[in-house]
Amino acid sequence: MLAMSVTRAALESPGISSIRTLQRQLSALMPSAGLAGALSDGPSLEVSSSPLDLPRLISAVVIEGNALRARKVEPAIAPGFSAFLDGTQESRVLSYAHGMPLIHGKVAAVIRIRSDRRLATWRHTVAQRLYAPRRLLSAQWNATLDALAIDIVDVTSAPDAQGGAAVSEHPFAIRDAAIHSVQADRERVEHRLAEKWCDAEHEPLFVDGGISGSDRVARTANAVGVVKTHRTLYAEGDSLQVVFGLREGERTSVFRITSPKRTSVASWYLRLRDPSGRDPMWGLVRVEIADSGDTEAEIRRRADEVSGWVLAEVSPLALPDGRWDKMVYGIRDCEEFLRAIR
């Protein structure tokens, strides 16, 4: 009766039931619940929900020189990346139990490999699960959930739910805990796909997002993470002004990011496009690579090389995506593929 544990098989197997099918199953098993109807229509919950992490500044240790500085880099003449990895998540309300939402979450990830200037699928994975506050539900509702053809996650006991804190009975708190769990599942399928690439291939992989969540990926020379969102900025004071002042084609010095729960990585900020007249985050990405403990000269050479690879990917534009200032076309292609297989 307790939630099913997160298993590798569950996260890597394709979902077997659409949200509409699950709603019909639920209506048959629990007629009093009724059909959710329009609950599953329209934008996903991720669109309307506020970010779960608060904005913050963290000072990082510079490992290229003594202070954070701006450095000019040139785009690579030839593409450096052989493949691109991206993932998506989508959460929608399936129904309500005792006024509390039951949320259907779907995650997917794909690696698209470049061959003869075209992109093709190397491997992809899709999974879906139902996220419910099982400890707050009646025995009848829990029995009904067990009868549905989908894995169930108890957001009131999942380790990813609000850092392990007890989840309130407030419907919004349950919704936020569910979205956080869906996000954690999406990261897991992305990491496992990246690990498969690192185990099987030796060519550079462009990962949309950080790589520190997987020890295997974070220690591999051929994985490069490119972070587009900046809720956390790894700079303070004068260093922050260096980041904001980057011009197109400039990067910061390399710094080390450490965390008790993640593998240390070497990182730097890189400006992809001219920010004149824009906000300070326009065209700004943060790059992550393995923290291999190299000499300062090798760190500089590697950062320049990888920055050149990333800059070479800014054309063609990833339009009409609204994030085109930070998104490369290879990642845009991944998203188009994932939308097509929904």
Is 60 exceeded by the pLDDT of residue 7?
A: no
- Is the same domain home to 35 and 62? no
For residue 268, being part of any structural domain is answered with yes
For residue 196, being part of any structural domain is answered with no
- Domain extent, residue 260, equals 54-81+204-342
14 CB contacts (<8 Å, ≥6 apart)?
125, 126, 127
What's the pTM value of the predicted model, to 2 decimals?
A: 0.87
For residue 181, being part of any structural domain is answered with yes
Domain boundary among 131, 155, 188: 188
- Is the same domain home to 216 and 289? yes
pLDDT at position 36 = 53
Q: pLDDT exceeding 90 applies to what percent of the chain?
A: 70
Compute the distance between CA of residue 336 and CA of residue 342 in angstroms, rounded to an integer.
Answer: 10
- Is the same domain home to 97 and 128? yes
- Is the same domain home to 100 and 181? yes
- Is the same domain home to 272 and 321? yes
pLDDT at position 38 = 45
- Is the same domain home to 141 and 226? no
- Is the same domain home to 326 and 238? yes
Residues 277-328 pLDDT 10s: 999 999 999 999 999 888 999 999 999 999 999 999 988 776 677 788 999 9
Residues 32-47 pLDDT 10s: 776 554 455 667 887 7
Residues 57-80 pLDDT 10s: 999 899 999 999 999 999 999 889
Structure tokens at 283: 């065209």
pLDDT at position 315 = 83
Number of structural domains (the chain) is 2
For residue 116, being part of any structural domain is answered with no
- Is the same domain home to 258 and 176? no
- Give 146-151's long-range contacts (Cβ < 8 A, gap of 24+): 146/1, 147/25, 147/29, 148/17, 148/22, 148/25, 148/26, 148/29, 149/16, 149/17, 149/21, 149/22, 149/25, 150/15, 150/16, 150/17, 150/22, 150/104, 151/4, 151/10
Is 50 exceeded by the pLDDT of residue 88?
A: yes
Q: Do residues 113 and 83 lie in contact, with contact meaning Cβ atoms separated by under 8 Å?
A: yes
Compute the distance between CA of residue 208 and CA of residue 109 in angstroms, rounded to an integer.
Answer: 11
Residues 91-136 pLDDT 10s: 999 999 989 999 999 999 999 999 888 999 999 999 999 999 999 9
- Is the same domain home to 336 and 208? yes
pLDDT at position 159 = 54
Please provide the average confidence, as pLDDT, over all residues in the chain: 87
pLDDT at position 46 = 78
